[in-house]
Structure formats: structure tokens, C-alpha cells
Structure 1
């Protein structure tokens, strides 16, 4: 079995794969103040409830965009599964090159996303990841990450509005029927969700134009299905894309 671990700013996701299928996916809050014992006890409980044994895990792949948590999760994984942990970085997958100014600045999750789409598609592709940040990773048909665009994620934008304004509440992420909000909740939903709809469409179109029009788009991330009106922009919406990229990396390096 292969264990993929994706440490994000909001959640840490653990995916257990066998023969290419995801048997279990578990999520934990990413808490930088916690030590490895906290995460180990939670993961041990998941294994116990699933009737699994740690020795069944042959390959462990780690992606992290939270530097403070990376050594904590590494120590936890080594304690449970041994020292041979694959940590994703810019040089981890020889078939993928990173054509940006500072390759070590790119997030490990974006590398995993790129690996997943170059394996599935042989054409220019933009991966739109709806997470804590909303990212647009452009990957060319000749297997290069050409660059990235980053904006605050949907939930991040709502929380920032709530935290920095005296009279605006935190609202659910529900797509409104109209852009003309009749109350505070509808007004925020219209501004954020319909605003992001326009943002995503505009950025995708600009990227496609810069690539000569030959480009597809794939969506991933926990909020990838929130804005239903964007579905036609994507050839696929796959919340497990990052985990699949980690699985592919792990399978190639352990073969």
C-alpha cells in the first residue's frame, strides 16, 4: 500500500492507496502548535478503526506547504513507517521540468498537481486549485511548469472580510441567484462567489490566449465544486488530483 500525505495550510490529508485506488482518505486540521505525537495518535486511530497494520504500507510520499509542520510530520511518519520517506520537491520527478525563476519557491502540492495532469493529458493544461489559496498552475504539453498565478482562496477572502470589517458577518459559501444582493449575506455571496467566477474565467482566458488558445483546464481542491457555473470551464473536476500526483511520484520512485 502507498500512503500519500498532503500538508496544507488548513488541513493535512492522508490518502491510502492500493493498486491505484484510494481505499481511505483522512483529513486532520493543520495545527502548527502541535507536535508529532498529536498527529501520530490520530493516524494510529484511523489505522485501528480501518483494521490496518502499519507494515502494510510500503511507500510513503509527503508534500508540505507549511514549513513549520514539515519536520514534525516527517518525524511522525518515520516513527511509524521507517526512514524511507519520499519528500516532494522541485527535482523529485525527472519527467517534469520547472521553467520558473526560482524552482524551490513552488509549492509541493502544485508539483503533485502538475505530475497528475502530465500523466493524464498530453496537452497544455492549467490546474486551478481551490484551496486556502486559489492557484493557477500552467503546465505545457512538453511537461514543463511554465508558471503560477496565486490569489486568496474563497474561504480566505470571506474570513478576511469578516475579520477586518465591523459589521459584516462570516457567511456560507453558497452561490447566489443574483449579483444584486438584497441583504448582507447575499451581498457578500454575490461579491465573493460571483466575483471569483469572473476572476477564474478571466485568468483562464488570458492564460489560454498566451498559449495560443491550445489549453485545457482541470480543477481540484476542497472548494472546486462550490461555483457551479464554472463547471463548463474544466475538462475535469477532481478533488483528489494532488493525492493522485503524490501516488504517481511514489509509484515511479519505488518501482
Structure 2
């Protein structure tokens, strides 16, 4: 069984796959203060709910944008499962070309997203990942990640604004009934949620124009399904895209 982990700044998304199908999925909060022993206990608790043990995982792949956790978590699995995890970075053979970017600076999650998206469309495509940061990345035929945009994520922006606004303790993560907000709360929802979406739509328009065609767009990340309800710009919404990319990358290693 394959275990894939995507370690993000806010959450760690975990999936267990067998025969190309995701059998089990988990999402936990990223905590850089946890020790290896604490993570071992946490993972054991998650797995035991489905009568799984560490030694069920013969292949493990990790993408991480949190360096201080990469080694800790990989060592947990190496010790408990006796399987060395593949740590995804720009040097791993993914089948995806990265010529115009600094391989060492490209986020592993963005690489996995790009691999998953290009495998799906097999053509020019744009990947929008709604995470701690909102990223809009471009993959061109014949499978090259050429770059994109990285923006402050929606939750980060809301938290920053609420922190400076004493009268508002929480802003619902949804647009108001109309774009012209009739109250301070609705006006902030309009500016934050609809404004964020307008930014993404504008970037997609500009990227498509730059690419000279109507590239397909796929949305992923924790907020993708909620945001997708309010736009018709996304051809596909797939919260599992990053893990799918990791699975495809691992399968490529197995074929060598």
C-alpha cells in the first residue's frame, strides 16, 4: 500500500492508496512544535481507526513546504515501517520538465499539482491551489511547469484583516447575497471572498492570453470546493490533485 503525505503550512493531508485508488484519507493540523514521538502516536491513532499499522505501507512519498517537519515525519515512518520515504523536490524524476524555474525553489506541492493536472488533461493547463497561499501555476505541452503566481491565501487575508478590526471577530467564508454589501460584514465578505475570486479569474484570463489559447483550469486545495461554487472558470475541481500527483510520481519511480 502507498502512503502519500502533503505537509503544508496549515494542514497535513494524508492518503493511503492501493491499486491506484485512495482507500483512506486524513487531514490534520500542521504543528511544528510536535516531536517525532508525538507524531508517531498521532499517526498510529489515525491508522488504528481503520485497523492499519505502519508496516502496511511499502511505499511512502512526502511533499513538504515545512522543512522543520520534513525530516521529523520521514524519520517516523522509516523507523516504524522500515520504509524510507521519497522526499519530493525539483531533482526527483517526475516526468515533468522544470527548465525555466529554479528547481530548488519550486514547492514540492506545486510540482505534484502540475504532475496530476498534466496527467489529466495532457495539454496546456492552469492549476489553482487554494491553500495557505493561493497559487496559480501554468503547465504547458509537452509537460513543462513554466511558472505562475503566488498570492496570499483567503484565510490568511481574512485573519490579517480581522486582527486589525476590533469590531469583527469572524467573517463567514462565503460571498454576500449581492456584490454591494449592505453592512460592514457583507462589504468585507464582498471585498475578501469575491475580491479574491476576481483576482484569480483575472490571473487566469491573463495567463490564457499569454499562452495563446483556452487552457483548461483545475482547482484544488482545502477551499477549492467552497470557492468553486461561485465561479464557472474551473473545468475540474479535485481536492485530491496533490496526492494524485504524488501517487503518479511514485508509480514512475516503481517503473524504473
1:192: how far off? 0.6
Matched with 1:137 is 137
Matched with 1:152 is 152
Matched with 1:10 is 10
Q: Give the distance between the partners of 1:32 and 1:56, measured in 2 at CA.
A: 26
CA contact (8 A) 1:161 1:168 kept: no
Matched with 2:79 is 79
1:99: how far off? 2.8
Q: Give the distance between the partners of 2:51 and 2:94, measured in 1 at CA.
A: 36
Q: Give the distance between the partners of 1:3 and 1:83, measured in 2 at CA.
A: 11
**Partner of 1:68: helix, strand, or coil?**
helix
Q: What is the RMSD of the two structures over their aligned residues, measured on CA atoms?
A: 1.3
Counting only pairs closer than 5 Å after superposition, residues 1-255 of structure 1 correspond to structure 2 as 1-227=1-227, 228-230=229-231, 232-255=232-255
Q: Give the distance between the partners of 1:92 and 1:132, measured in 2 at CA.
A: 24
CA contact (8 A) 1:2 1:59 kept: yes
Query: TM-score, length-normalised on structure 2?
Result: 0.95
CA contact (8 A) 1:11 1:27 kept: yes
CA contact (8 A) 1:175 1:226 kept: no
Q: Give the distance between the partners of 2:103 and 2:49, measured in 1 at CA.
A: 40
Q: Give the distance between the partners of 1:215 and 1:252, measured in 2 at CA.
A: 26
Q: Give the distance between the partners of 2:55 and 2:25, measured in 1 at CA.
A: 18
Counting matched residue pairs gives 254
Q: Give the distance between the partners of 1:166 and 1:190, measured in 2 at CA.
A: 19
**Partner of 2:42: helix, strand, or coil?**
helix
Q: Give the distance between the partners of 1:175 and 1:214, measured in 2 at CA.
A: 27
Report the more deviating stretch, 163-172 or 62-71.
163-172
